[in-house]
Structure 1
Amino acid sequence: MPQETILILGASFAGLGAAHYILKHILPALPKSGDTTYTVTLVNPSTDFYWRIAGPRATVSKALMPPAKYLYPIAPGFASYPKDSFTFIQGTATALSTSSRTATITLADGSTTSIPYHALIIATGTNTPAPQLSQHTTTAALTAALDDFQAALPKATSVIVAGGGPVGVETAGEIGEFLNGTPGFFGTKPAHPKAKVTLISGDKKLLPVLRPAIALTAEKYLARVGVDVVYDVRVTSAAAEAKAGQTAVTLADGSVRSADLYVDATGVRPNTAFLSSDLVNERGFVVCDPATLRVDAAGPRVYVVGDAGSYTRGGVMDLDNALPVVMTNLKKDLTGGSGPDRTYTPNNSEQQIVPVGRGKGVGAFGGWRVPSWFVWMIKGRDYLSSMAPDIVSGKKWAKESK
């Protein structure tokens, strides 16, 4: 009996969600008549899922953020599905032919294989310059990056974090509190700081999504843990100095700062090097129909979901809007259904939650500013890691989104 493959590239938040959704709600609903069956193939560089939301705290200490809270094996979450309906491949997409509708996958052992697809979901996401803040390749590489940083951190007397977005602010806050502690109840700075921690922002304010008043509060909370903020200058390069163990950080104004440790948290880069130039924009994000999330230039039944797509400003919360759109349109395309497509509406409201250290934070939901205690309660306690098991197991998508 002919078998058609629904290929999903990437097994982070978007890819895992897509795989579980298809297996739960789409394959069982396809017509039983005819000779064709469908299977889901999921490709990912690592056999584990990294809850990268916890990266800022995982960076500083396993005691504060144990690996069991941010690393989860992928395979057990799919054990309950019929064996002939799902295949997991540890590998990385290195080429895509839209004419032959095949993806070239470089496997963990360095060999390559070619996978034909009937439908394709690009969910390869993004990576960060600092290797401990996203999972670029294998769990071993991620763990090594975390171990190396944690071994060096207690001895550091100077740390530079580049990037004034949420990950930069969160990482600087965690490092500052780990090294310098917090002030007393009425204090504004640590009483006995042990390290000079500097956050360098290329913009005139922190946290571009949030209003200036919230950004200033974030700066105040950073000062509580001994973090100084430098505004309106970008890092142009960072390189090891002749002096052992230090990094020279060159800024756009020509100045050079030295630090024992340097963390590049200057945004994300899309994992789309395997795609041809006609499928991505000038920044490397996958160009799609912003309403249906189909990648029309790649042919029929090709979609993008998650941070690799040009349709989104990024963030895990956006998936709750985007993934059901892709899934509904995939189901329609597979069944030949009629009627209108499901369409995506971006949520561009002021919405972001940013812990600053282990006890403070700033943010807004739906345009409403929220207090520090609320940020701590929602995210600051464990960086939402209690939500990870439901994503890995597929429980999050147990119900079909109508």
Structure 2
Amino acid sequence: MFNKYPDGRFRFLHGTTAAVNHTKRVASIKLPSGEGEEIEYHALIIATGASTPSPALGLNKDVQQLRSSWAAIRKVLPTAKNIVIAGGGPAGSRSSPPKVDIKIVTSTPNILPVLRSEIAQTAEKYLANVGVTVIKNVRVKKVEPSNSGEDKNDQIAVPTTVTLDNGQILEADLYIPATGTTPNTGFLDETLLAPDGRVETNKSTLRVEKAGIRVYAIGDAASFARPTVHSIFKAVPVLCANIKRDLLLSGGATKAEAGEDCIFTEDTREAQLVPIGRSKGVGAVMGYRLPSFLIWLVKGRDYFLWTTGKLWSGEQWTK
């Protein structure tokens, strides 16, 4: 993927960002070997994403952790009789295997709160057809073991007692926490963060203005828009255009030569595609509800895997 970049002008560094000093403009990187490296930056893009409470639902660490998490879950599934999923968003709704007593617990009046209630109710019907019960307007108060469902001390797939805030107690052979995400921004100074933990980002230009010049943020770690794939797709060319403009200005170009800022505008219309089971799905695009078979055709077959090549290479945005 990186072969097209000339030698001496590109470096891939595999590691974890331990800290960013935005005053000194230095990023501290922790390498897999345990050693550290400090890199001075002329420009910085923060695109560290977000972590899921269950390591099986996101790339929280690395591919080895993700594979081991799913291996642990698959080992339990053949004998599991009761599964509890906390969270009524798309991750929880599409994590439901068939032929098992499954309960989804959500604090909202309907599952899939991004979508209108009629679509959410259709999703609930599809889930009911594969043995899923939805418990609404209730939160998980406590789980025992306390770190059940997490990749700590081999607790990702263990029998769990789930206590809800209405007093109801559920016993589960497998507990999956699917209650949203946490931005991966702990390495940043708190003054750069919004109240929800995301990087406070200019919603129009994607600049992180509190961090100084030529610092930007995009994706689930940034506050520029609701964290959605289509927002990120739309934001990438805006980010690149504004970086180019800022670099030209720092190199001595005039404002006329550098051009104007490129402006991002969030599309707030109803948009979400949620495959359910092996052949169903619900969702909407640009405010228009889509039929079930189209959800399956567009996303359910491979979850957009066919798009990854052009995304990684940047060809998705090549003019």
Unaligned runs of 5+ in 1: 1-76, 181-194
Aligned to 2:109: 204
Decide which moves more: 324-333 or 135-144.
Answer: 135-144
- Please tell me the residue identity of whatever aligns with 2:177: D
Displacement after TM superposition at 1:78 (Å): 0.7
1:359-374 matched pairs, under 5 angstroms? 359-374=279-294
1:74-85 matched pairs, under 5 angstroms? 77-85=1-9
- Supply the distance in 2 between the matched residues of 1:351 and 1:135 (Cα, whole angstroms): 23
Equivalent residue for 1:217, pick from 122, 136, 140:
122
TM-score, with structure 1 as normaliser: 0.73
Unaligned runs of 5+ in 2: 147-156
Aligned to 1:299: 212
Aligned to 1:41: none
Query: Match of 1:342, SS?
Result: coil
CA shift digits 1:162-181 (9 cap, x unpaired): 11111111112xx1x2xx1x
Aligned to 2:192: 279
- Supply the distance in 1 between the matched residues of 2:193 and 2:212 (Cα, whole angstroms): 14
Contact kept? 2:158, 2:175, Cα under 8 Å: no
Task: Give the RMSD, CA atoms, in angstroms.
Answer: 1.4
2:168 pairs with 1:263: no
Q: How many residues align?
A: 302
2:309 pairs with 1:389: yes
Displacement after TM superposition at 1:395 (Å): 2.5
Displacement after TM superposition at 1:250 (Å): 2.1
Higher relative contact order (CA 8 A, sep 6+): 1
- Please tell me the residue identity of whatever aligns with 2:125: K
Displacement after TM superposition at 1:203 (Å): 0.2
Displacement after TM superposition at 1:210 (Å): 0.8
Displacement after TM superposition at 1:123 (Å): 0.2
Equivalent residue for 1:124, pick from 36, 48, 73:
48
Equivalent residue for 1:160, pick from 77, 84, 93:
84
Q: Alpha carbons of 1:245 and 1:127: their partners in 2 closer, same or farther (altered >3 Å)?
A: closer
CA shift digits 1:351-377 (9 cap, x unpaired): 111111110000111111110011011
Contact kept? 2:242, 2:262, Cα under 8 Å: yes
Query: Match of 2:15, SS?
Result: strand
2:64 pairs with 1:140: yes
Displacement after TM superposition at 1:394 (Å): 3.0
Equivalent residue for 1:358, pick from 261, 278, 296:
278
- Please tell me the residue identity of whatever aligns with 2:129: R
- Please tell me the residue identity of whatever aligns with 1:294: R
Displacement after TM superposition at 1:302 (Å): 0.2
Query: Match of 2:278, SS?
Result: coil
Displacement after TM superposition at 1:278 (Å): 0.4
Equivalent residue for 2:237, pick from 314, 324, 330:
324
Displacement after TM superposition at 1:387 (Å): 1.2
Query: Match of 1:83, SS?
Result: coil
- Supply the distance in 2 between the matched residues of 1:200 and 1:371 (Cα, whole angstroms): 26
- Supply the distance in 1 between the matched residues of 2:201 and 2:73 (Cα, whole angstroms): 38
- Please tell me the residue identity of whatever aligns with 1:226: G
1:48-67 matched pairs, under 5 angstroms? none
Query: Match of 1:85, SS?
Result: coil
Equivalent residue for 1:90, pick from 4, 9, 14:
14
CA shift digits 1:235-264 (9 cap, x unpaired): 1332239xx941111222233211000111
Counting aligned pairs with the same residue, the percent is 43
- Supply the distance in 2 between the matched residues of 1:389 and 1:98 (Cα, whole angstroms): 33
Decide which moves more: 150-159 or 385-394.
Answer: 385-394
Q: Alpha carbons of 1:331 and 1:216: their partners in 2 closer, same or farther (altered >3 Å)?
A: same
